[in-house]
A and B are shown apart, each in its own frame.
Chain A
Amino acid sequence: MTKVVVAMSGGVDSSVAAALLKEQGYDVIGMMLRLWSEPGKEDSNRCCTPDSMAQARRVAAKLDIPFYVIDAKSVFRETVVQYFLDGYARGETPNPCLICNRQIRWTFLLDHALALGADFMATGHYVRIQKAEGGRINLLRAVDRSKDQSYVLHVLNQEKLARALFPVGDYPKTEIRAIAEKHGLPTAARKDSQDLCFLAGEDYRNFLQRNAAEMLKPGEILTRDGRSIGEHNGLANYTIGQRKGLGIASLVPLYVLGKNSATNTLIVGTQEELGSRELTARDVNWLSGEIPGEPFPAEVKIRYTAKEAEALVTPINGNQAQVQFDAPQRDITAGQAAVFFQGDVMLGGGIII
């Protein structure tokens, strides 16, 4: 029997993923990762509270599948949390979920799944995979576009896709709830939160204050033409497009346009000055495993929650890509990922410089 490890969270999506695979005749094993939390906040990590662990265990018992928790605390701290801190230290707004998916879920956990003798690993992500001609595997957006999570999975590759199953990506969320009900599984999803699991429900600024206070150095706030108009309290406290909390008296609303970590200065300007027609992405991952030979039109998404925009993507310098939008885009933010689609197919993406 084909063996598959399901990464479970106790939530409705991964629970239904396990139920669907069991129904399809797979030999299913449930696994959950114990992730890192700040000392004293071990019960608040959104991804592995005692509560969600108990929930996942109950789901596994209901489905009559084995369930194991794997300790990932130190590898999570060394990779994901470090990436988060390093990103802010560089003046970027990092998205650690990308690293978590690449290094923790689809490397660390996948290795454990394979060691248990699994043929596949499944998650409750809303995406699909499709076998294309020539044996290539495509990552597709979810049927339910409003739930699509391909943004955070653009970091996969052919080798990992060959091991991946995403059973819920074929269904609209409403149907997933119905399936959960049918199997008597918990239907109450945890709040769809954009918060990072290790922030324990707090603002990321509090976390930085506690764990990397040294990076929060005050500096000048400048206009685009270099005029000093105030003082900021540490670049990491600001993100591109932010309006509130600048503490500057001004006739027109001012927005964060950019951050210069070399000079520790924050660049602000008016709404008209926001936005740009182009961006460059580094460390671009092409899901096909091949760098496209020439520029191509694509729909580009610059944040997890952003709407996709038409653009021309030009691969440059090995693993970079230049993106030329048809219309100016607001809030292009260094450290976030820009990802490229053609239709439903996720082509790849990289980190905005």
Chain B
Amino acid sequence: MRIPILEAAAVNDAGSDDIAALARHYGPGVLRAAWRVLGNRAAAEDVQQQLFLRLIESPPQRVDSWPAYLTASATRLAIDHLRRQRRWRMLAPLWKTDFPDDPPDEDVERQQASDFLRAALARINPRDASCFVLRHLHGLAPAAIGAALGLSENHVSVSVHRARKALEAMQTKEQTR
């Protein structure tokens, strides 16, 4: 059954002013979401700015939940960043990072956990990595992840499971070294 008025309501027309308002409200959350993946302030800020500037250039057609959509987009961009960073490091092992390092975490175990997770996320399928981070690091429900990434809930669950298995295998391998 088609209801024109509902179809019209589902389409968003986000202008520049709208994006500026979104940035004001949700900018800090986007930054924190990117930082949780990247562990680097400068890189997280780069993701934050990139995300909102992209929205100004090409606003999405339909968004069911802006907080979930923005968190998912920040996560995807952050994982892309990790993968790019890994490629550069493979090509030029002497280069450290393209952004200045943050001061190290005072808690060594926490710093090591964060380093491991970043390196591991850069090595697995990027969609699986996004689903895993959104589910386990950001605490989004599978339905919300699916809506934000355009996947079915079932697909999200499979991706999360696949990522978990891959990360567990990497962790076991690292611990037995």
> Do A and B interact with each other, yes or no?
no
